[in-house]
């Protein structure tokens, strides 16, 4: 970080710490791990179907009846991609809901603690 002001260096350092704290969160791993695994599985499945489509496209030059299997494969690929998107959106939604639920509980606890501290101060200084 050559050439940055002291404030900018401080900002980027705090940013890096916050990113590392977020990666240490279990909620992040509950999202990242299934996302990565599902992406790899989708990639492998799409790879096998794409190779079939490539071979069929070469055969279309001589036999146009190969067009129907290619269309069926493309529909299958589209269905797999839609299922993958649905899974990941559902996963992200669940993680966000869990995160917000814990955040609300934390805020309620902090609010209750503040009220108790205020009551104690009022009892000492009537």
Q: Whole domain around residue 20: which residue ranges?
A: 6-124
Q: Please report, rounded to a whole number, the percentage of residues in the chain having pLDDT higher than 70.
A: 88
**Is pLDDT larger for residue 76 or for residue 64?**
76
- E strand or H helix at 5: none
In total, how many domains does the chain have? 1
Query: Lowest-pLDDT range, 54-58, 76-80, 89-93?
Result: 54-58
pTM: 0.59
Whether 1 maps to a domain, the answer reads no
pLDDT of residue 120: 62
Whether 87 maps to a domain, the answer reads yes
Q: What are phi and psi of 64, to 5 degrees?
A: -75, -10
Q: What is the pLDDT of residues 23-40, one digit of tens each?
A: 777 777 877 888 899 999
């Amino acid at each position: 970080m050559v050439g940055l002001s002291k404030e900018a260096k401080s900002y980027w350092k705090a940013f890096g710490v916050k990113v590392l704290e977020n990666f240490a969160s279990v909620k992040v791993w509950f999202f990242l791990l299934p996302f990565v695994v599902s992406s790899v599985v989708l990639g492998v499945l799409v790879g096998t179907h794409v190779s079939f489509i490539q071979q069929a496209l070469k055969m279309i030059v001589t036999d146009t009846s190969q067009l129907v299997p290619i269309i069926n494969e493309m529909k299958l690929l589209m269905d797999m991609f839609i299922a993958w998107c649905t899974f990941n959106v559902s996963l992200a939604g669940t993680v966000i809901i869990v995160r917000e639920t814990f955040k609300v509980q934390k805020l309620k606890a902090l609010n209750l603690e503040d009220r108790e501290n205020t009551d104690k101060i009022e009892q000492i200084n009537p």
